[in-house]
Structure 1
Amino acid sequence: MSIPSLDTALPAGVDAREHARLLRRVHDAALSGRPTPASLRPVVEDSWARVRRLGIDPDSGPPPRTARLDELHRDRTASPIAEVLPLIRRALVPVADQADHIMLVTDAAGQILWRDGSHRVRSVGDRVGLVEGAFWNEASTGTNAIGTALAVGRPVQIYSAEHYVRNLHTLTCACAPVHDPRDGRLLGAVDVTGPVSTVHPSTLALVHTVARLAEAHLQSIHHTHLERLRSVAAPLRAGLNEPALVVDESGWTAAAVHMEPVRRILLPRHRGGTGAWLPSLGECSLEPLPGGWLVRPRPSGERTPTSVTVDLSGPEPSVSVAGDSGEWTHRPSPRHAEMLLLLAVHRGGRTARQLSQDLFGSPDHVVTVRAELSRVRRQLGGIIESRPYRFSDAVRVRVHAPGTPEGLLPGSTAPAVLDMREGRAETPAGMTTGY
């Protein structure tokens, strides 16, 4: 498995203690409005800007919000990372013990679901609220490896006074997000945290590798489940003379009969009846199978007008698709969330070159844009049109934004999204916000 170049907190050849002292001077100067003796890394500078807008007090940051035990148990049970937790523990807990670190696993909202490792550092964690059930997103605790990695969607190491809140300056932490290998959805993160004296550049590569291994194992589990479903449905498929799909509980296709296979379909949230209207397929019958569904398109089924809600108000974007026969929810990747927001702004449509300019600040990324939009259209068939790319005229589109303009897709660096955050560009008609 290849390891990309990672943005570690310690520059090559720098003495860790000297660097920590420099960072404290930078922190003091930046927060008092004086010129800083050195520049912050861009990922830290951007995070500080976000948490300032959130009103986090660097001198007395609030204790992180902590879930009740029953809520923690529910969220642990619901987390797909629970399936690969033994792998993560085997890879990280021995290292954490030896290096005087603790290992933390969070969900997509930054809630710590599991904690293991050094007893001494667990005691330190207790004092700052680094405990199971606590939320360590940027809105709760300012700049920290967990919250910042979840915000930007990539591995992050935060050292000493790079933490925005002063009582965290004694810590060093490295965190890597874990994504659903099937669709890129953010599932949570893996983190190791310890005293500043234990900082090491290789820690970031370690947690990134473990996160990648966890994603690979989740992919293997998914393939095994689809193969099992395929085998269970084999006798039924052999007797079918009309088009049909065999899908798992989440709509991922295990087999296609007499029709072109699609990677995934959006199943209704409630499946009590025998029929449902599905994007790209129209009216279908749904028959339960062990671990999945048999989906049969009805020849006379017509596509009905649909409403789409792009919800950007929470820690993870979601898209809800409502039709006459039910409602579907999809978790888009950060890039796809950007595209859906832009298409909601430009209901008349956007060419690939225009979207390339919107997303990358250059018209030279047309191939990337077309590939990503092809994925979006497969996931939301019948809703996104092409030539130009746009929401179907029959679709009613709503966008739910966060409570402040600055919270709109905070991890996005797309120029068009930055313009919306700064009030330099229009927002979708009918967008609902808390500000």
Structure 2
Amino acid sequence: MSERPTDGGVTAAAHDVRATARRLAALREARLSGDGGPEPRDIIGDSWRRVRGCGVDPDRDRRERPLTAAELEHRKAASPLAAVLPVLHDALLPAADAAQQIMVVTDADGLVLWLEGAAPIRRMADRHGFGKGADWTEPVVGTNAIGTALVARRPVLVHSAEHFVRSHHQWTCAAAPLHDPRDGRLLGTLDVSGPAHGFHPATLALVSAVAKLAEGELRERHHASVERLRSTAAPVLARLGGQALAVDRDGWVAGAVGMAPPDRVALPKSPVPGPLWLPRHGRCVLEPLPGGWLIRVGGEPAPRPHRALLDLSAPDRPALTVSGPAGTWTHEPSPRHAELLFLLATHPEGRTAAELARDLFGDGGRTVTVRAELSRLRRHLAGLLAHRPYRFADGIAPELRLPADPAHLLPHSVAPGVRAARGGGDGAGAPPAAGADGA
């Protein structure tokens, strides 16, 4: 093979992708047989050595069990990349569709979370075990753009016989890692894959550019989230004496009083309201804020928020107002989250995912959707909601403020539990809790 592939994965003269594929196949066979010959690109040669060390069979697929539907939905709900899917769709999916390719987004473990694109190519991918929930790391499927990009931490294109496993030689894939712009943490990969004959030399550059665009969107969303928390926390911090910090749920600081604010506080993995010890600050007390936490440095333990008022008296402006030792704040939930908060407030003993699925959809089997929504709600209302069963946390007695006319209760909701509370149909809902009042 007289020409070495460039970093784009093809030779400068390789406009004939079939000829390129034949040359790559000959190179691969020579390397695997020990006959020497030209070296592949460094990134491909390094990957081949890794996967041979992992025992990957170059002639046979190794299929791992994909994630279950529940596992897949849990990972999708927990992934920060869910927030940038619209950006990825708008910037990349039309080009992928036009080229008869698919767009794939994985998490940092190489598990396929989202897969979109032309139906015939999706069916081809399914036959290769390349579906939602599949593990696409090097030790499982050998050299490929997703798995190799996760190891190399850089954009990678793998063309035809550069794939270590023979059954993947009809494919070309280009992937770029996606990082958290705040701290550089790897979040997953963005990939475009499809038949090798549809390969275009600009694919890798396009995927890399869209990955940077998505990281920029994550950065903007972080800044906007911190600003929202800062505006909520400002009056709370102003009422406090001593030292205190307002941080988002990942510990990024939005405000401080009585001290120079650090950029970030190292919170426990699953923080809960109450006393805790932080490495740089010593004894502290955590109190929930919408989208984050109030940290009172050196504070004494105080009761949890003593009042959580869910005001549904205005048909189109549901609001949750929480009063605690540090003051009062208000959060306006989305329509779906307002339904969930209402159902939890009217069932203080708690609801299982199946019960809430019946309350919301009339179908107790839709637990995956319920768990995903509650995961989002609990991330925003840190410390206010508990699970197993889902309920308001211990020490928080929810109160309801309802419309004078029951027909105006969440008027756009079709959830059976809400309709039953309006008196408008069968459902799993219950009458308002004893603490409810009218408007």
Q: Same fold per TM (> 0.5)?
A: yes
Answering whether residue 29 of structure 2 is matched by residue 28 of structure 1, we say yes
Match of residue 259 from structure 2: 259
Contact between 1:174 and 1:203, CA under 8 Å: does it hold in 2? yes
Query: In 2, Cα distance between the equivalents of 1:100 and 1:185?
Result: 32
- The answer as to whether partners of 2:234 and 2:255 remain within 8 angstroms in 1 is no
1:232 — aligned with what?
A: 232
Following the alignment from structure 1 to structure 2, what is the Cα–Cα distance between the partners of residues 73 and 265? 29
Partner of 1:351: none
> Who is 1:17 aligned against?
18
Separation in structure 1 between the aligned mates of residue 212 and residue 98 of structure 2, nearest angstrom: 22
Contact kept in structure 2, 1:160 and 1:171, CA below 8 Å: yes
- 2:285–2:299 CA contact under 8 A, matched in 1: no
TM-score by length of 1: 0.66
Cα distance change on mapping 1:31 and 1:65 into 2, 3 Å: farther
Query: Contact between 1:143 and 1:163, CA under 8 Å: does it hold in 2?
Result: yes
- Do 2:273 and 2:287's aligned partners in 1 also have CA atoms closer than 8 Å? no
Report the CA distance shift for 1:238/1:206 in structure 2 as closer, same or farther (over 3 A). same
**Contact 1:65–1:140 (CA under 8 A) maintained in structure 2:** no
Q: Is the 8 A contact 1:64 1:136 kept in 2?
A: no
In 2, distance between residues paired with 1:154 and 1:65? 27
Equivalence for 2:292: 292
Cα offsets for 1:215-242 (capped at 9, x unmatched): 1111111111110111011111222332
Larger Rg: 2
The answer to whether the 8 Å contact 1:268/1:276 transfers is: no
1:172 aligns with 2:172: yes
Counterpart in the other structure of 1:72: 72
2:136 is paired with a residue whose SS is coil
Q: Quickly say closer, same or farther: Cα 1:207–1:64, change in 2 above 3 A.
A: farther
What is the percentage of aligned positions where both structures have the same residue? 50
Determine helix, strand or coil for the equivalent of 1:136.
coil
Residue 61 of structure 1 corresponds to 61
Contact kept, 8 Å, 1:233 with 1:289, in 2: the verdict is: yes
In 1, Cα distance between the equivalents of 2:36 and 2:174?
28
Residue-by-residue CA offset, 1:187-241 (whole Å, 9 max, x unaligned): 1111001111111221001111111111111111111111011101111122233
Contact 1:173/1:194 (8 A) holds in 2: yes
Q: For the structure 1 residues 200 and 256, does the alpha-carbon distance in structure 2 shift closer, same or farther, using more than 3 Å as the test?
A: same
2-structure distance, mates of 1:33, 1:292: 58
In the TM superposition, residue 299 of structure 1 has moved relative to its aligned partner by 8.3
SS in 1 for 2:203: helix
Q: CA separation in 1, counterparts of 2:68 and 2:241?
A: 52
* 1:345-356 equivalences in 2 (<5 Å): none
Q: Give 2:34's aligned amino acid.
A: G
CA deviation digits over 1:50-97, x for unaligned, max 9? 101100000113124411111111111111100111110111111111
Secondary structure, in 3 states, of the residue corresponding to 1:115? Answer: strand
- What are structure 2's unaligned runs of at least 5 residues? 1-5, 301-439
Would the aligned equivalents of 2:57 and 2:165 in 1 still touch at CA under 8 Å?
yes
For residue 7 of structure 1, report the CA deviation from its aligned partner.
2.6
Q: Distance in 1 between matches of 2:220 and 2:262?
A: 20
Q: What SS class does the counterpart of residue 172 from structure 1 fall into?
A: strand
Larger CA deviation: 94-103 vs 264-273: 264-273
Aligned length: 295
1:237-295 per-residue CA deviation (whole Å, 9 max, x = no partner) reads: 22233221110111110112221111111112343452111121111121221221111
Equivalent-residue separation in structure 2 for 1:115 and 1:214 (angstroms): 16
- Aligned 8 A contact 1:190 1:211 in 2: yes
1:91 is paired with a residue whose SS is helix
Residues of 1 paired with 2:89 and 2:165: CA distance?
29
Distance (whole Å) between structure 2 residues aligned to residue 181 and residue 278 of structure 1: 24
Aligned residue number for residue 317 of structure 1: none
User: 1:283-362 counterparts in 2 under 5 A?
Assistant: 283-298=283-298
**Residue 50 of structure 2: aligned partner:** 50
Note the alpha carbon deviations across 1:98-150, whole angstroms, 9 max, x for none.
10101111111111111111222112111111111101010110000000001
Query: What residue number does 1:207 align with?
Result: 207
Q: Does 1:92 align with 2:85?
A: no
Q: SS of the counterpart of 2:276?
A: strand
Please say if 1:155 is aligned against 2:155.
yes
Match of 2:103 in 1: 103
Partner of 1:192: 192
C-alpha RMSD of matched pairs (Å) = 1.7
Letter in 1 for 2:239: G
Pairing of 1:136-147 with structure 2 (within 5 A) = 136-147=136-147
CA–CA distance in structure 2, aligned partners of residues 269 and 194 of structure 1 = 39
Alignment of 1:374-413 (within 5 A): none
Contact 1:96 1:117 in 2 (8 A): yes
Letter in 2 for 1:128: H
Which residue of the partner structure matches residue 122 of structure 1? 122
CA contact (8 A) 1:64 1:141 kept: no
Q: Counterpart of 1:51 in structure 2: which amino acid? A: V
Secondary structure in 2 aligned to 1:30? helix
Say which is worse superposed, 218-227 or 233-242, in terms of deviation. 233-242
SS at match of 1:83: helix
Q: Rate the CA distance shift 1:239–1:273 in 2: closer, same or farther, 3 A.
A: closer
2:364 is matched with none
